[in-house]
Amino acid sequence: MTITEEKVLEFHRGGKVALKMPRPVRTVEDLCLAYTPGVGKAVLHLDRHPEEAFDYTAKGRTVAVVSDGTAILGLGDRGPTAAIPVMEGKCVLFKSFAGVEAWPVVLDNCRVGGAKTGKTDPQRVIDATLAIAPMYGGINLEDIAAPACFEVEDRLQELLDIPVFHDDQWGTAVIVLAAVRNYAEVSGKPFGSLRVAMNGAGAAGMRIREMLVAAGVAQVISCDSKGVIYKGRPDLSGRKLLAAEDTPCRTLEEVLRGADVFIGVSVAGAVKGEWVRTMAPNPAIFALANPDPEIRPEEVAAAMGDAPYVMATGRSDFPNQINNVLCFPFLFRGALDVRARKITMGMKLAAADALAAAARIPADEATAALYAGEDLAFGPRYILPKPFDRRLRALVAPAVAKAAVAEGVARVADFDEAAYRAALEAETADSTSSAR
């Protein structure tokens, strides 16, 4: 597949999102119901019953995709205008994969001092997002640079009673946890005994570590550009201080010795083949730097020879892609459908477990046809489902919704998991048929 700039720009011409009206205005009565004078009655009703905005507006099914453009994909700080194609793309994925309405919201004037360049001012992003929040049932933060992204997410979730989710942090973490669970399954190693070596301590790296620890992984030792994050290292603060481990290791090479799992969210070429050979038998190497991984699959293959191992990257042209589209559309769908006030750790863990379970189910014919030539049977080269597996909506969203109800953050109390799952299955079948 060749992706040229010309082909990309033609695809993006005119933008990738537009307003679709569920109730078209075709008659005089329609006009009176949609706008004046009828709309005034809706205004007065919501003034008396603001909680019913979930019923009588698009709020309950719409997510704002918010960014200041300071950390766009792997391209760095390119500003809000350059961020628009990515935010539109996220909205397309929300709708295409989970039936969730989403709209891009790119923020200017959110730098320290209000400058056009420089670091993110967390308070400016928080204030801007609070200002637009009443229209939305959820906030998906995107491509906001660390460390500001941590404060922005935490503070917004404190101040808002709708889900706030920074996909760069948690989306990757949920999918990595699902992959690690299935690695433990295919390798025959107890999940709780796994030793994990991480390289990268930014937004994704810190949250991956938190997810693995919350799920019960025995040990996670993290490294940043200065080496191992160990207890007593004098330059640590914030989340890095919380991530510090009591270890004699000081380099990534040392941490990899005897490790079961390597997870990289750092830079290309950070790992050498000879280091991989020192890992525990049948290791997992998750080299997720994009577009070029910490170590390429062919280098791992050469290093391991005939020995068993599991390899994952962030790229679609290799098996076991860690792709955030496996998480955020379905996570938000489940949260929105029970009108959750927040996305809890329990909901994230439920999403990871559902994704892991989905990979253990043989792929259907439609999915297999899209990935012709790939073996989609559960095993070392297939530890995660494919994004186009249309069953994911009815597998992941109900798990998230059930967890939200169990943790007391859902507004919907009479949740029927079986009925909800059946409704999503029917919805998915309808959308698949209409797409043919």
Distance CA 398, CA 215 (A): 20
What angle do helix axes 392-406 and 79-98 make, rounded to 10 degrees?
A: 100
- Residue 311 main-chain phi, psi, to 5 deg: -125, 135
Distance CA 358, CA 342 (A): 25
Q: Which helix (H) or strand (E) holds 66?
A: strand 62-67
Query: CB count, 10 Å around CB of 415?
Result: 16
Distance CA 105, CA 142 (A): 10
Q: Are 98 and 329 in contact (CB under 8 A)?
A: yes
What's the farthest any 2 CA atoms get from each other in the chain?
76
**396: Cβ contacts below 8 Å, ≥ 6 apart:** 327, 330, 331, 334, 351, 354, 355, 358
**Angle (nearest 5°) at CA 195 between 274 and 176:** 90
Q: DSSP strand E in 172-276: where?
A: 195-199, 219-224, 227-228, 261-264
Rg of the chain on CA atoms, in Å: 22
Residue type, 91: C
- Residue 284 main-chain phi, psi, to 5 deg: -115, 130
Q: Residue 401 half-sphere exposure, CB side, CA atoms within 13 Å?
A: 26
Query: CB count, 10 Å around CB of 134?
Result: 12
Give the residue numbers marked as catalytic: 35, 90
Q: Could you give the dihedral angle defined by the CA atoms of residues 316, 321, 322 and 326, in that order, rounded to the nearest 10 degrees? A: 80
Among residues 9, 19, 126, the alpha carbon closest in space to that of 68 is found at 126
- Helix extents (H) in 363-391: 365-370
Distance CA 323, CA 313 (A): 9
